[in-house]
């Protein structure tokens, strides 16, 4: 079983490998019981959003952590992947600007992928 930090790191790396834009990892454990981390990014089109979601699903499923739920697949403007302790948000550019989760969760600490990967 992976730790929340490991799940967030695998998701962020999968997103970066598929050329997601502006990948951010927020440590939300102090602000909410919903999740320990939010991983947020945007794709360049609805097709790219779907490819990003599929890659995160694939990589975390291979690691033994399939998503508990996926929401928004029909719209392809904001897809939420719930891994229990980690929520992955994949937006189109316009939806990310509109919902502005970074502002809503501005009390959360932004962490770098390298800090999650180091012991």
CA distance 34 to 82: 10
Residues 87, 39: contact at Cβ < 8 Å?
yes
Residue position matching structure tokens 């981390």: 37
Domains of the chain by start residue, with CATH: 4-111 (3.30.460.10)
- Tell how far CA 40 is from the center of its chain: 5
pLDDT by residue for the chain (119 residues), tens only, comes to 899 999 999 999 999 999 999 999 999 999 999 999 999 999 999 999 999 999 999 999 999 999 999 998 777 799 999 999 999 999 999 999 999 998 989 999 999 887 776 65
Is the model's pTM score more than 0.85?
yes
């Amino acid at each position: 079983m992976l730790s929340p930090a490991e799940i967030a790191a695998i998701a962020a790396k999968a997103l970066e490998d598929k050329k997601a834009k502006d990948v951010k990892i927020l440590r939300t454990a102090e602000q909410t019981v919903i999740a320990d981390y939010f991983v947020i990014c945007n794709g360049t089109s609805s097709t790219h959003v779907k490819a990003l979601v599929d890659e995160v699903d694939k990589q975390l499923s291979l690691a033994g952590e399939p998503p508990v739920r996926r929401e928004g697949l029909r719209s392809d403007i904001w897809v939420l992947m719930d891994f229990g302790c980690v929520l992955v948000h994949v937006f189109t550019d316009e939806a990310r600007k509109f919902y502005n989760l970074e502002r809503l969760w501005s009390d959360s600490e932004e962490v770098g992928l390298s800090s999650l990967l180091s012991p």
